């Protein structure tokens, strides 16, 4: 499952999967800026069939945090 | 800072002033210690104090200053993006330097404001603009920053205009079919909506109904004033012609992104917990009481990476009261009339870049 999530990150942000590690953070690389973030959220919503709330969209600020937030929606990664 | 975001419209004025003063005293001291141009400025103007006791004695900078100087606080390498006012080619634009912290505060501020109007669920969203506004990623103007900020409240985003500013009718039809019965979030810039949506719909003789929908728009009235359209008329026409159920104008500027003043259901702009407005006499700069029109000073706790917390704008407005608006939101409520006629006409986000 973590692999699936890593691949969604890599594809949505257009970065190599090796760069997607727990402490990868929002605004720490040019690809994960506000524009990249929108693409990422859309990809996560679609891949897991969920609709994250605004608050979670804002809080999803690292790969590690993404796993925590997705768990709230019943996605185990 | 969290107390501001958690109580966006429900702090009593006395409490709010205390919180603002405490935070702003710290923030101004931080800018003074970490931005040498700011330090020089305050020292030269004799405005530096160890502690300020009232909001109206905080040192104001003219908003135009950000067009003349690259002002930022702290190390340059902490800056992750630079926002600009749209400007026209012949005019200088403001440059606003953001680090991660300030950028996050701006996002949280906007979320606390907009959630008060639409709740926490993201809505299917139509952006009444063209995606080309966002073509440059590390630096964008007020229009781009607004679109990105508001996009967090939406999902399945549709940019209504193509690169040539034509309405994408087919995609709009598909979008509406897909989201039938759902509440739609609309966002755009006042002048772009007026010229490329409203007038285009009129010219093409289309009747249209966005259904259950809420529109947020901002960006100034300079261009619309020439066409004799005021805020009230604009909102009415959009309701009538496009069937948009609820229309909210907001007042804000790139120099203080995030702390926007949203128009409530009663038609007044509201200062959220983390910001304040003060009206001043355009000549003497004395503070004017409620009911008197004057120059608008905006105060915000959000800026930490640039010294833009206390700004004197070129806009005219009137405060109507504090904590007593019939919409139920606390804080100062006011209206904006437009720009001081004698002021330099600066490029604003309502300018369509030719």
Q: What is the CATH number of the domain that holds A51?
A: 1.10.1200.10
What is the least distance, in Å, from the CA of B70 to any CA of chain A? Answer: 22
Q: What is the pLDDT of residue B99?
A: 94
pTM as predicted? 0.90
Sign of CA dihedral B120, B126, B131, B133: negative
Asked if A51's CB is within 8 angstroms of B121's CB, the reply is yes
* Separation of alpha carbons B106 and A42, rounded Å: 22
Asked if A58's CB is within 8 angstroms of B121's CB, the reply is no
* Separation of alpha carbons B16 and B272, rounded Å: 10
Is A28 inside any structural domain?
yes
Q: What is the pLDDT of residues A16-52, one digit of tens each?
A: 999 999 999 999 999 999 999 999 999 999 999 999 9
Which two tokens mark B166?
A: 């034509």
Is A8 inside any structural domain?
yes
Is A77 inside any structural domain?
no
Chain A interface disruption, residue of B103, B110, B113, B151, most A CBs within 10 A: B151
Specify burial of residue B213 (Cβ count, 10 A radius: 0-12, 13-18, 19+): buried
Chain A nearest-CA residue for B155: A42
Q: What is the pLDDT of residue B347?
A: 35
Q: What is the pLDDT of residue B138?
A: 66
Map out the domains of chain B with their CATH numbers.
2-68+263-339 (2.30.38.10), 107-251 (3.40.50)
Among B341, B340, B351, smallest CA distance to B297 is for B340
What count of other Cβ atoms lies within 10 Å of the Cβ of residue B105? 24
Asked if A30's CB is within 8 angstroms of B155's CB, the reply is no
**CB-based contact B187:B124 (threshold 8 Å):** no
Is A59 inside any structural domain?
yes
Q: Which residue has the tokens 């919503």?
A: A45
Is A14 inside any structural domain?
yes
- Among partner residues A30, A51, A58, which is closest to B155 by beta-carbon distance? A51
What is the least distance, in Å, from the CA of A7 to any CA of chain B? Answer: 21
DSSP state of B55: G
The residues facing B227 across adjacent strands are none
Is A24 inside any structural domain?
yes
- Among partner residues A35, A53, A54, which is closest to B137 by beta-carbon distance? A35
What is the least distance, in Å, from the CA of B106 to any CA of chain A? Answer: 11
The residues facing B185 across adjacent strands are B125, B214
Contacts of A42 in chain B (CB under 8 A): 155-157
Chain A nearest-CA residue for B101: A27
Q: What is the pLDDT of residue B114?
A: 96
Asked if A53's CB is within 8 angstroms of B120's CB, the reply is yes
Is A63 inside any structural domain?
yes
- Among partner residues A30, A51, A54, which is closest to B111 by beta-carbon distance? A54
Count: domains in chain A:
1
Asked if A53's CB is within 8 angstroms of B122's CB, the reply is yes
The number of residues making up chain A comes to 77
Q: What residues make up the domain containing A41?
A: 2-72
* Separation of alpha carbons A20 and A13, rounded Å: 10
Task: List, for chain B, all residue ranges whose pLDDT scores fall below the cut of 70.
Answer: 86-91, 138-139, 342-354
Which two tokens mark B28?
A: 């101004």
- Among partner residues B121, B134, B157, which is closest to A53 by beta-carbon distance? B121
Q: What is the pLDDT of residue B155?
A: 96
Q: What is the ipTM of this complex?
A: 0.91
What is the least distance, in Å, from the CA of A10 to any CA of chain B? Answer: 18
Q: What is the pLDDT of residue B224?
A: 76
Among B102, B25, B93, B34, smallest CA distance to B63 is for B93
**Across the A/B interface, how many CB contacts are shorter than 8 Å?**
46
Q: What is the pLDDT of residue B338?
A: 78
What is the least distance, in Å, from the CA of A1 to any CA of chain B? Answer: 24
């Amino acid at each position: 499952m973590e692999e699936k999530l890593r691949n969604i990150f890599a594809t949505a942000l257009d970065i190599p999967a090796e760069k997607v590690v727990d402490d990868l953070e929002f605004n720490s690389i040019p690809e994960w800026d506000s524009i990249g973030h929108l693409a990422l959220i859309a990809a996560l919503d679609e891949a897991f069939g969920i609709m994250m709330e605004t608050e979670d969209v804002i809080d999803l600020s690292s790969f590690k945090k993404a796993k925590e937030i997705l768990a709230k929606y019943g996605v185990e990664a | 800072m969290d107390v501001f975001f958690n109580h966006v419209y429900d702090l009593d004025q006395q409490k709010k002033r205390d919180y603002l003063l405490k935070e702003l005293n710290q923030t101004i001291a931080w800018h003074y210690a970490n931005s040498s141009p700011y330090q020089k400025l305050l020292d030269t103007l004799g405005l530096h104090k160890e502690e300020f006791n009232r909001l109206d004695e905080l040192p104001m900078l003219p908003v135009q200053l950000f067009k003349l100087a690259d002002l930022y606080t702290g190390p340059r390498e902490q800056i992750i993006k630079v926002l600009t006012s749209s400007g026209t080619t012949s005019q200088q634009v403001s440059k606003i330097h953001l680090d991660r912290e300030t950028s996050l505060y701006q996002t949280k501020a906007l979320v606390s404001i907009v959630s008060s109007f639409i709740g926490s669920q993201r809505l299917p969203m139509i952006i009444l603009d063209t995606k080309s506004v966002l073509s440059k990623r590390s630096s964008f103007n007020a229009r781009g920053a607004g679109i990105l900020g508001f996009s967090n409240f939406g999902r399945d985003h549709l940019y209504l205009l193509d690169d040539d500013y034509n309405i994408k009718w087919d995609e709009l039809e598909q979008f509406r079919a897909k989201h039938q019965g759902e509440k739609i979030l609309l966002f755009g810039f006042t002048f772009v909506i007026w010229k490329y949506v409203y007038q285009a719909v009129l010219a093409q003789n289309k009747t249209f109904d966005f259904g259950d929908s809420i529109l947020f728009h901002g960006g100034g009235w300079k261009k619309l004033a020439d066409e004799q359209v005021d805020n009230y008329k604009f909102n009415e026409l959009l309701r009538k012609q496009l069937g948009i159920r609820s229309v909210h104008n907001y007042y804000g500027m790139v120099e203080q992104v995030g702390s926007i003043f949203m128009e409530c259901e009663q038609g007044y702009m509201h200062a959220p917990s983390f910001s304040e407005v003060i009206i001043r006499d355009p000549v003497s700069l004395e503070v004017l009481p409620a009911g008197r029109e004057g120059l608008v000073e905006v105060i915000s706790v959000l800026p930490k990476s640039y010294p833009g917390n206390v700004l004197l704008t070129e806009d005219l407005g009137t405060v109507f009261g504090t904590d007593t608006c019939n919409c139920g939101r606390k804080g100062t409520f006011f209206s904006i009339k437009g720009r001081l006629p004698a002021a330099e006409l600066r490029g604003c986000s309502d300018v369509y870049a030719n």
